[in-house]
Amino acid sequence: MYAKVRTWADLCAVNLDFLQFKHNETFYHAGPLDEETYENFSFLNDLVELNYMGIFTHSSQPGFNKEYCKQKSFLDFCCEKDLAYELLPRLMDESNSGEIFFSFHSADTEKPVYIDTFPEERYNLTKYFENNENETSKWNYYTNWNKSSRINNGVIAVPNICEMTSYAGADRYKLYDILIKTVDISIACKEYDEDFSAPEKLLDIIKMYSKDLSSLD
């Protein structure tokens, strides 16, 4: 599926095919779309729109706040440097006074950079309540945002999405070369909020920026 990928636009186009059920897996996700994604029409639609705009989404989830399951909506995506640095001040504003934390991560040798606003080095995104008769009932902290996978002892690590290109077989080197030149960004809701969607929030930030640009004409 990646044999004809040569450019950033090509990579986003293949991702669109995956989101539109034309492929059953990708190099970063060994299976079809998760139910929680495709059953949430607006959430999936926003992912599609982002990829049409040249933003490569590679991990996400909607928010839940149930008695037995709590999820903070998050989105992991890559974008080209120009757009990434246009988004950065917006992300900072939204993190300082709004609903999200974010990380901004590039290991490109020309301009390595790392920024994050998460309050902990291991920030919980999903937890399930376990009720085991033989143990005390407890929360299982199932998925987390981890700073250690991004920067360790002051050294900026290669983004996980670049490392995952090893699953693309013969196409891995060209995918790696494309992705290592981008910025890998994560945004996550500060609360377990079912009404908050990370893809929708990113679209709002992008559209707000576009309005500011048009007002300068």
Number of domains in the chain: 1
Is the residue at 137 inside a domain?
Answer: no
| Model confidence, pTM | 0.93
Is the residue at 33 inside a domain?
Answer: yes
Is the residue at 135 inside a domain?
Answer: no
Do residues 129 and 141 touch, judged by C-beta distance below 8 A?
no
Q: In tens digits, what is the pLDDT along the chain, a chain of 217 residues?
A: 999 999 999 999 999 999 999 999 999 999 999 998 888 899 999 999 999 999 999 999 999 999 899 999 999 999 999 999 999 999 999 999 999 999 999 999 988 999 999 999 999 999 998 876 666 678 898 999 999 999 988 899 999 999 999 999 999 999 999 999 999 999 999 999 999 999 999 999 998 876 554 443 4
Domain with 44 in it = 8-117+146-214
Is the residue at 41 inside a domain?
Answer: yes
Q: Report which of 15, 66, 11 is spatially closest to residue 36, judged by C-alpha positions.
A: 66
Please give the backbone phi and psi of residue 106, each rounded to the nearest 5 degrees, phi first: -140, 130
Count Cβ atoms within 10 A of the Cβ of residue 49 and give its class: 0-12 exposed, 13-18 middle, 19 or more buried: middle
